[in-house]
């Protein structure tokens, strides 16, 4: 795994991209996520899928934790 992470919010890319909102598009999200999963070089990028909307607290906490892990790993290399 590389020192970069891509975290996919599988339930939506914004607060407007949730069920009942104007920009809800699960098919479009699936196409985007499938393309990213296919094209991302996983030897360089950690691909993490979370069952959250991007604005969820759990998503933010997971992203922050991953950032801290990556920074600590990088610091350990120096």
- For residues 52 and 8, is the Cβ–Cβ distance under 8 A? no
Provide the number of structural domains found in the chain: 1
H, E, C per residue of 9-57: ECCECCCCCCCCCCCCCHHHHHHHHHHHHHHCCCCCEEEEEECCECCCH
d(CA 13, CA 3) in angstroms, rounded, equals 23
| Domain membership of residue 29 as a residue range | 4-77
pLDDT tens-place string over residues 3-31: 899 999 999 999 898 889 988 999 999 99
User: Quick one: pLDDT band at residue 76, thresholds 50, 70, 90?
Assistant: confident
């Amino acid at each position: 795994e590389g020192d970069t992470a891509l975290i996919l919010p599988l339930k939506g890319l914004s607060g407007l991209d949730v069920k009942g909102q104007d920009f809800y598009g699960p098919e479009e999200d699936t196409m985007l996520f499938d393309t990213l999963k296919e094209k991302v070089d996983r030897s360089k990028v950690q691909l993490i899928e979370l069952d959250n909307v991007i604005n969820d607290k759990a998503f933010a906490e997971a992203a922050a934790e991953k950032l801290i892990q990556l920074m600590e790993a990088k610091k350990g290399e120096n």
